[in-house]
Amino acid sequence: MNNEDGLLELRNQLDSIDNELLDLINQRMRVVHKVGALKAKSGGAIYRPEREKAIIDRLEEINKQKNGLLNRSAIEALFLEIFAISRNLELPENIGYLGPEGSFTHQAAEARFGAMSSYIAISSIKGVFREVHTKKVKFGVVPIENSSNGIVTDTINCLSNYNLKIIAEVVLDIHHTLSTKCDKVSDIKKIYSKDIAFEQCRRFLTNFGLDEVELIPIESTTKAAKIAANEEGSAAICPHVGAKLHNLPILFENIEDKDNNKTRFFIISDFENAPSGNDKTSILVKFPDRQGILVEFLTDFNKAGINLTKIKSHIVEGNSIFFIDFDGHKDDENVKKVLQKHTNSVKVLGSYVKEINDI
């Protein structure tokens, strides 16, 4: 058998496997349709992050036992998209996110809900919370913190003011591009971006002499790409997806100063998750004006064997509050005892599958 015949045989094998995959996926979707009908009768939630995690965990273990070629990231990439398609077959629902289209928050939403879902860009974090609260959208996606710039105050304020639940977290590596229709760096006369993006790429700008051109801060990096795509001699610092959205050529990728720049996002909705076995819980705490209360609170967590992963103080409407993350689910017995002791001080924001310890 010559090389050409061998290649044809392998391609035929791939076609046969693809046909089998299509049949199996259609079988899965038929079962999904039946599940959706039962959930519709019972009022159960369609999106269950803890159930999806359990499936990924099981498949990863089977893959290891069979010496499969896929790592966990590859398994997640395949099946999270299948889950997203399944949810849309069960009950198509809107996802609101902090816009505009092509923003990092949009990327975070698509990473969890897939390409087929219906997305609505909303102009403010408060707007996202409001539309989830009024049920115009089922899910909202908002940033909560960045590894370089800290906690997002608007999100903390809204978590305090709205009775919605955090049902999942998404952590994205944040990469910026310098995108432009200019052929050379020396042709660039002005750069558009968000002020925070300029700060995150300061070393790159200096090294390439671009700190001397006009830097124009605007409200979004995606809008920066749109302007640069239509204005001669201009460029944008924007995410890859924003450049692609506006057909803007990328001159340099990954121009951020820190290679571990991450942003954490929350997915909010109107239901609570069951325990998954690997959960994180977020709470807001407003202590009474009593000396030693913070130490007492932290000591209770320590005695209960609960690992606090984050504690940040904030001012919300003139009041000092603490945003706290800890390992465990709110319904775990040791957690319930501590929360019940401080029930008048604590607002439970949600328990959800843990994606990362901290950023």
Q: Which of 242, 271, 300 is the last residue of a domain?
A: 271
How far, in Å, are 31, 263, 300 from residue 37 at the CA level?
A: 10, 37, 44
Question: What's the confidence (pLDDT) of residue 36?
Answer: 66
pLDDT of residue 88: 73
**CATH code, domain with 60:** 3.40.190.10
Q: Are residues 123 and 266 in the same domain?
A: yes
Q: What confidence category does residue 288 fall into, taking pLDDT thresholds of 50, 70 and 90?
A: confident
The band of 45, judged by pLDDT with boundaries at 50, 70 and 90, is low
> What is the DSSP code string of 148-217?
TTEE-HHHHHHHHHS--EEEEEEEEE---EEEES-SSGGG--EEEE-HHHHHHTHHHHHHTTGGGSEEEE
For residue range 264-280, list pLDDT tens digits in order: 999 999 988 888 888 99
Whether 27 maps to a domain, the answer reads no
Q: pTM of whole model > 0.85?
A: no
- What does the pLDDT read at residue 49? 77
pLDDT digit string (tens) for 179-207? Answer: 999 999 999 999 999 988 998 899 999 99
Reported as a pLDDT band with limits 50, 70 and 90, residue 43 is low
Does 7 map to a domain?
no
Task: Tell me, yes or no, whether 1 lies in a domain.
Answer: no
Domain count, the chain: 3
Residues of the domain holding 216: 177-252
